Chain A
C-alpha cells in the first residue's frame, strides 16, 4: 500500500498558500489514484485488494491537517484580491475527496461479479479516462499559479475527455439494460450506481475544470 508522506506542523507552517494547495492536490490525486486502483481490482474481482484500497481512501485523513493549516493561513492573509477564488479552488479539490470517499463506501457494500468480459473492458476504458482527467486536473491546479493559459488548455482537454466518458457511460448503461437480469437484482443496482458514482466524480472534475477556465478569463488580461 502507498504510504503518504507525514506532514508535521512545522513543515506545514513553512508552506505558502500556493504550496499548501499543491500539497493538498497531490494528496487528493494520490487518493483518487488509489480509488481508481480499487475500481480496477473490483473489475478484476480481486476483493481483498478492493477492500484494502477503498478502506485506505476512506480512512486516510492526512489531508485534514493541510486543510486546517490552509484555512487558518488564508483567513489571516492580507492583500490578496484572489482570496475568495483560492478558497474555492481548495474547496473544489476537497470535494474530489468527498465524492471519492462516498463512492468507496458504496462500492464496499457488495461483492459483485460482472456480467461478462466485454462489460469489464468498457468499464476499464471509463476508468482510464477518469485517471487521465484526475491527473490533468492536478496539473491544471498546479499551473494556476504560474501559467493560467496552460491551466486553461489542460482544462479544455479535461472537458473533451469527459465528453468521451459520457458517451462511454451511455454505451455501458445500454449494455446493462440489455442484460437479461431482474431489474431489482443487486448486481444491476450495484453496477448502475458504480457507473453513476464514477460519472459523478468525472462531472465534478469537469465543473472544476470549467471553474479554472473561468479564473483564467477573469485574471488574464490580453492587449
Chain B
C-alpha cells in the first residue's frame, strides 16, 4: 500500500515536473526581441528558440539540477516524495500570486526557498537531524550570493558592453540610413545571441531539472529514468514555447518593433553570459532578474530615466519570495507530517 502511494506520488511529481518544463517554455519571453525585429518568420523563430532551449536543458542543466536536487541538502539528507510535492505546490502557489500581482517572480528563488522551508520543518520534526545538518549552508550561501551577484553583474556587463559598442561604433553613425543599415547587420547577430541566450535559459532551469535530480538522488527513479525525464522535459519546454509561449512572445514583440536590434544584442548577450557562467558554476539564478538588471544597465549607460518605484516594488517581491515560499512549503510539509505523510 505504501509502495503504491509512493509510486503514485512519484508519478504525480514527474507529471508536475514535466508540466513545469512546459510552463517554463510558455513563459519564456527571450524570443520576443527576435520576433519584434522581424529577423525570421514567427513560426521559424519559435522552432529555433524551442530547440535551443530544449538543447540547453538536456545537455547543460545537470550542474544546476544537482545543486537543487542534491548539493543543497545536508549530508545524508534525502528528499521524500512529500517534501518534493510540498516544494512544487508552494512554488506554484507563490508564482500564481506573483502573476496576479503582475510581478515577474523568480521560480528559481521560489523553488530554493521552498526547499529551505521543507528541510527546516523536516529537521524540526525528525529525530537525529538538526537544523545545522539539514542543509548544506555553504552551498545555500553560494546560491543566494549568486542571486545578488548575477543581476549586479548583468547590469555591469551590459553597461560596459554598451559603452564600448557606443564609443567605437554606434556613436559614429550619423544618419538614419546609416543607422538602419547598421541595425540590419545587428539583426543577424541578434539571431545568434538569442539562440545562445535560449540555450542557457534552458540550462539554468533549476526548478524543473532540480526536482528530477531530487527524485533521482532520493532513489525514486534510476539514472536512465532521470535522463529520459530530462529529455521529456526538453521536449516539453519546446512544446511550451511553440504552443503557449507564442502568445507572450507575440504580445511583447508587438511592443518591440521600434527597439534597436543592437540593444537587443547587447541585452541578450549579457544575460546569456551571466546565465552561462552561473550554469557552469552550478548556481540556479533567475533569468528575469538578470534581464531586468541588464535593461537597467542599458538605460544607465544611455542616461535614460529609470523607474525607481517599479524597481523597488519588484525588489520587495524578490526579497519576499524566498521567505514566503519557505514558510508556505514548510507549512504544507508540516500538514503532510501531521497526517502521517512525511
Contacts and interface: CB of A to CB of B under 8 A. Distances in A.
Given A219-B179, A223-B163, A223-B166, A81 B174 contact: no
B180 A222 contact: no
Contacts of B219: none
Contacts of A221: 166, 170-171, 173, 302
Contacts of A145: 175-177
Contacts of B171: 221-223
Interface SS majority for chain B: helix
A81 B167 contact: no
Contacts, number: 56
A79 B178 contact: no
A65 B38 CA distance: 28
Chain A CB within 10 Å, residue with most, of B163, B176, B302: B176
Contact of A81 (B166, B175, B183, B302): B183
Contacts of A219: 176, 179
Interface in B49-78: none
A18 B302 contact: no
Size bracket of the A interface: 20 to 34
Nearest to A145: B177
Interface string B177-189: 1111001100100
30 contacts: A18-B177, A79-B38, A79-B39, A81-B183, A81-B258, A81-B260, A81-B261, A82-B176, A82-B179, A82-B180, A82-B258, A84-B257, A84-B258, A85-B258, A144-B176, A145-B175, A145-B177, A146-B175, A146-B178, A147-B174, A148-B174, A149-B174, A215-B176, A219-B179, A220-B174, A221-B166, A221-B170, A221-B171, A223-B163, A223-B171
Instruction: Identify the 4 closest CB pairs spanning chains A and B, nearest first.
Output: A146-B175, A223-B167, A145-B177, A223-B171
Interface of A: 18, 78-85, 143-149, 215, 219-223
